[in-house]
Amino acid sequence: MDIARTRMTRLPLVEPRKGSSDRFHLQDSPILTHPASLHNGSWPMYVCLLIAFLCGCALPASAVVQAPNGTHTDPLNLTPEVQAACQHYYDLDYAGAQVRFEKIAAEHPTDPIAADYVLNNAVFRELYRLDLLDTTLYVEDGFLTGKHTVTEDPRIQSRIEALYHHALDLSNRKLAADPNDVDALFARGFGTSLYTVYSGMVEKKYVTALHMASSARNDADLVLKLDPKYVDAYLIVGVHDYSLGALPFPMKVLAGLVGIHGSKSKGLRELRQVGQYGIINSVSARTVLAIFLRREARYSQAIDVIDGLVRQYPRNFLFALEQANLLKDSGKGMPAVTAYQALLVRAVQPGGYYPDPHLEMAYYGLGEAARGQRHLATAAAAYQKAAVQPTASPLMQQRAHLAAGEMFDLLGERVQARKQYDAVLALGTDSDQAGSARKYENSPYKGR
């Protein structure tokens, strides 16, 4: 089934107000649908960062109420049951979160956001399994347009697709009865964003995913038009505004000609607003805010944001990992090495400090930090350990073996280097990593 077509046929359930900016729909724009927009750094950044803003437990619901801080939300978001499920989710205990979210969905069978809870957990559990929540993948914009080994599980794919369509159907039923149902609009945009991430990152259906991301933005705009106090809706808006503002100048001019405008500073302000006042998207907004600040080389601000998330959720392995990543990217190489090593020590503590740590991410980051300090032997050893972790995905294994081979070449250990390149090719020959491995099999890596 064509996801983009299904999505667009459902959109007319929500009619734009006459004279409003909604007369122009983002999914009709050539800037977002033409294949050329998948390059030049625009599309890869946009989809990759969708992952960041959904790494938190973004959980809206139905029957708007006013939260203690004056923000509008659904009463379900304030219940102990949802908060407890989110705690497991934030700790990356996806199995524990699944049990709790499925129970909530069973108790609220007609509520689309309850169905979205389950979808959210399923999508990010799979992304974590595939090592696709490692932000070192997205330092270079070319990741999504390159060839990389992503081994999709057909059973999980079928389940995620079914969960998405179930949630979408529940939203559309409510919107058929009341096109101005803010909670149903929010739930539809949220569910669509989740499936956007999965379609783009795992299935690599980039054009379909971009259509869906645009539809999610339209839903968020309608939510805010109907209820400006629904602050959590600014999450999607902020991500979109920043991403459009970050387009290369020629693409930005073309976007302006068809009525699409964005601003990096406006997007950052919107994300800060959600981070400060959001009820259920606060963590998500702060996560993506840190990623955007990292791209802007505003490292001290990004570190402050991530430090706050680590204090709030000390058992979240990814937040702790991002602390070390930011130290590395900000040029603090040796403190980064120390941070990765401390993370690895905590991760193997008896009793499980982190519920499900993917040690390969920390070892790979350690390798990158040591590499930057020209500690080549330390880097090679770290990359090798990353490659052999039981949770390492084929993508991570190829990246780690390739990097280890490069280090051995720089150390003058050609035999060891070729073993690592052979390991890359044994995992698959149709990837960017395999292409590099073939090149270095014939001619030693000289450094970059």
Report pLDDT digits (tens) over 330-341.
999 999 999 999
Which among 81, 92, 101 is positioned nearest to 126, based on CA atoms? 92
Q: Concatenated DSSP letters for 252-293?
A: HHHHHHTT----HHHHHHHHHHHHHH-SSSHHHHHHHHHHHH
pLDDT at 123 over 60: yes
Which phi and psi (to 5°) does residue 73 adopt? -155, -175
Query: CB of 141 within 8 A of CB of 45?
Result: yes
Per the model's pLDDT, the better-predicted residue between 252 and 129 turns out to be 129
Whole-number average pLDDT of the chain: 83
Give the predicted TM-score (pTM) of the model: 0.81
Residue-wise pLDDT tens digits, 44-74: 444 444 444 444 444 433 456 676 777 887 7
Per the model's pLDDT, the better-predicted residue between 26 and 228 turns out to be 228
**Average pLDDT over every residue of 140-154:** 64
In angstroms, the CA 375 to CA 407 distance is 9
The ranges assigned to domains in the chain are 3-296, 358-448
Residue-wise pLDDT tens digits, 382-409: 999 999 999 999 999 999 999 999 999 9
Query: CB of 263 within 8 A of CB of 290?
Result: no
Residue-wise pLDDT tens digits, 286-300: 999 998 999 899 999
Pick from 248-252, 298-302, 424-428: least confident: 248-252
Number of residues in the chain: 448
pLDDT of residue 147: 60
pLDDT of residue 94: 95
Per the model's pLDDT, the better-predicted residue between 22 and 62 turns out to be 62
pLDDT at 150 over 90: no
Pick from 2-11, 167-176, 295-304, 423-432: least confident: 2-11
For 26, which DSSP code? Answer: G
Positive or negative torsion for Cα 300, 304, 310, 313: negative
Q: At 263, is the pLDDT very low, low, confident or very high (cuts 50, 70, 90)?
A: confident
**Average pLDDT over every residue of 88-116:** 95
C-beta neighbour count of 37 within 10 angstroms: 21
Q: At 225, is the pLDDT very low, low, confident or very high (cuts 50, 70, 90)?
A: very high
Q: At 140, is the pLDDT very low, low, confident or very high (cuts 50, 70, 90)?
A: low
Query: CB of 115 within 8 A of CB of 170?
Result: yes
**Average pLDDT over every residue of 3-14:** 28
pLDDT at 146 over 90: no
**Average pLDDT over every residue of 24-50:** 40
Q: At 205, is the pLDDT very low, low, confident or very high (cuts 50, 70, 90)?
A: confident
pLDDT at 413 over 90: yes
pLDDT of residue 28: 38
For 55, which DSSP code? Answer: S
Q: At 372, is the pLDDT very low, low, confident or very high (cuts 50, 70, 90)?
A: very high
pLDDT at 4 over 70: no
pLDDT of residue 416: 98
Q: Which residue has the tokens 């390739």?
A: 402
pLDDT of residue 60: 39
What is the percent of the chain with per-residue pLDDT over 90, rounded to a whole number? 59
**Average pLDDT over every residue of 238-252:** 80
Which among 310, 308, 268 is positioned nearest to 285, based on CA atoms? 268
Q: At 203, is the pLDDT very low, low, confident or very high (cuts 50, 70, 90)?
A: confident
What is the percent of the chain with per-residue pLDDT over 70, rounded to a whole number? 80
